[in-house]
Amino acid sequence: MPCTPFHLRPITTLCLTLCLCAGHAAAQHPEPTELRRNEALLTVEYQTVKVPGDRAIDLLGFHAYQKVLEGVYVGGGFHAPLVSGAYGGFVAADLGVHLRRPLAGPVFALAGLSAGGGGGGRSVEHSKLLSGSGGFAKGYAGVGYDFGGLTLGATVSRLKFRRAIIDGTQASLLLEVPLSYLTGPFDRHGQPLSPADDQGAGVEMGENMLTLSLDNYRQRSPQGSNKNTVRLADLQIAHFFAADTYWFAALAMGYSGLPLYNQLLGGVGQRWRVAADLTLYGQLGLGSGGYSSDVIDTGSGLLVYPKLAAEYSLTRDLGVALSVGTMTAPKGSSRNQTWGLSLTHHLRSGRSAEATGPARYQGLRLSVLHQTDLHLSYRGTDRPSLQMLGLQLDIPTGQRWYLPLQASAAYNAYLGYPGYAEILGGLGVQTLAGPGERLQAYGQLLAGANVHGKAAKANAGVRWLLDERLALNFSVGRIEARSAGGGQFKAANVALGLDYRFSIPTR
């Protein structure tokens, strides 16, 4: 008689049945994951704001928002002019909330509210008239149509700068681009992913680059009052959407030659692998920047910046590069030859030819800061306190040490003018926080630039850990800077912030 499952002994049959049930249960309940899916929005907004007695200023806004509740997003970004008027160098940064609610089918209600600081104008004196003290608030509401991969909307917005002639209501266009990404616990920094999480991250995630550059702009036949070579600190974030093609966003600020020169750029780039340790990059950036048109003539602010770079790999994740390029202001007379030195940190999450091994967690800490510069003096004269909003990104290099990158902008006037800003980077150290511990002490040394030129800043503080992702921080410190003419800037610094702590898979 043939042997079939029905002729096996009862215990054997029971064991086979339990194994089949266990396999079915495992299929229904996959291995627990430490990765968390996050939803976010990138928005691009365009509006034209009337300026009494002058040409209108057009503002292109770019913002990144993190979803915190259904239909509720928080984040920040920038506004800068492009093609209207002669307001090159005007820039404004804000933090705010963006709301998105379904109305009927693909039609959504859109609204938002933000506040921040910035400024600019045709000249330094005109900036006081155009943007007042530098602080501003903005609100908007409208409708959008969801096409699946993006939402296109029309809104009515209200923009008001304190004590300024920018104070109006206008129509604007709004583009939303949704995205999602995977993150893990911050305290898993440096540890490997589980096999299941490693496989998921390898399929879903790609490659990013974080680049810090020191650039030099040699002006060709400058028409403005400034004839110097402008030296800038530049921070660029890039994401590969194909194997060797990426989009990028970059923020730069002058530290010598013309402190407070600023530019915001976005664009696309291409990578070519020449040898195991040598890679070439070419990228084209479009954006806005300048100072004021009488000092450096970028006209309406529109910039076009093609650049080539050659990178030598110091390690698998770190490279140093030399770059050359041409910066042009099509609506102004500014033409510049550029060269620079940069350091790039490669964050590879997905599997690729360069990243085939198992992934580990790379911790990141993003902080929203409110900073006050107290007991401020410049050239030996006491000045009113500065109030600033800022962002800081910390990149841990171990359990105790981290690399901080910080950018801040004031929302009140400094020396009677709007637009005070700082961009700084350096080294930080922190105490270890074990399981169940809430308090963590830290200190950091930063160097960079403010409106006067090269600046240095030291802070020490404490961090109160609310949960695995959120923390409050408080610090005190001191900042000093010196202008090209020898004027010394000194202030005590007090900062209060909210940390968002997470990690991403890297290979």
Domain range summary for the chain, segments of one domain joined by +: 36-181, 207-348, 360-506
DSSP count for the chain of H helices, then E strands: 3, 25
- The structure's pTM equals 0.87
pLDDT for res 24: 42
What letter would DSSP give residue 82? Answer: -
Q: Which residue has the tokens 């800061």?
A: 369
Class of the domain covering 360-506 = mainly beta
Would you state the pLDDT for residue 13? 38
User: Around Cβ 25, how many Cβ atoms within 10 Å?
Assistant: 9
Query: Among 244, 245, 208, which Cα is nearest to 506's?
Result: 208
For residue 44, the model assigns a pLDDT of 96
The domain made up of 207-348 has a fold known as: Porin (2.40.160)
Structure tokens at 421: 């800003």
- The rounded distance, in Å, linking the Cα atoms of 366 and 504 is 13
Pairing, β 360-378 against β 318-328 = unpaired
Query: What whole-number distance in Å separates Cα of residue 479 and Cα of residue 456?
Result: 6
Which of 391, 416, 455 shows the shortest CA–CA distance to 93? 391
Of the candidates 56, 53, 47, 61, the one whose C-alpha atom is nearest the C-alpha of residue 91 is 61
What CA–CA distances, in Å, run from 450 to 75, 142, 165, 170, 505? 24, 38, 26, 33, 34
Helix, coil or strand: residue 463: strand
pLDDT in the model for residue 307: 98
Assign 192 to helix, strand or coil. Answer: strand
The class that CATH gives domain 36-181 is: mainly beta
Cα separation, 239 vs 209, in Å, equals 7
Q: Please indicate whether the domains covering 36-181 and 360-506 agree at the CATH topology level.
A: yes
Q: What is the pLDDT along the chain (507 residues), one digit of tens a residue?
A: 444 443 434 333 333 333 343 344 334 445 568 889 999 999 999 999 999 989 999 999 999 999 999 999 999 999 999 999 889 999 999 999 999 999 999 999 999 999 999 999 888 889 999 999 999 999 999 999 999 889 999 999 999 999 999 999 999 999 999 999 899 999 889 899 888 888 878 777 789 999 999 999 999 999 999 999 999 999 999 999 999 999 999 999 999 999 889 999 999 999 999 999 999 999 999 999 999 889 999 999 999 999 999 999 999 889 999 999 999 999 999 999 999 999 999 988 766 555 556 888 999 999 999 999 999 999 999 999 999 999 999 999 989 999 999 999 999 999 999 989 999 999 999 999 888 889 999 999 999 999 998 999 999 999 999 998 999 999 999 999 998 888 999 999 999 999 999 999 887
pLDDT for residue 206: 83
| DSSP notation for 123-189 | SHHHHHHHHTTSEEEEEEEEEEEE-SS-EEEEEEEEEEETTSS-EEEEEEEEEEEEEEEEEB-GGGT
Which of 414, 403, 427 lies closest to 491 in space, CA to CA? Answer: 414
Q: What's the confidence (pLDDT) of residue 10? A: 38
d(CA 83, CA 303): 10
Pairing of strands 381-383, 386-396: unpaired
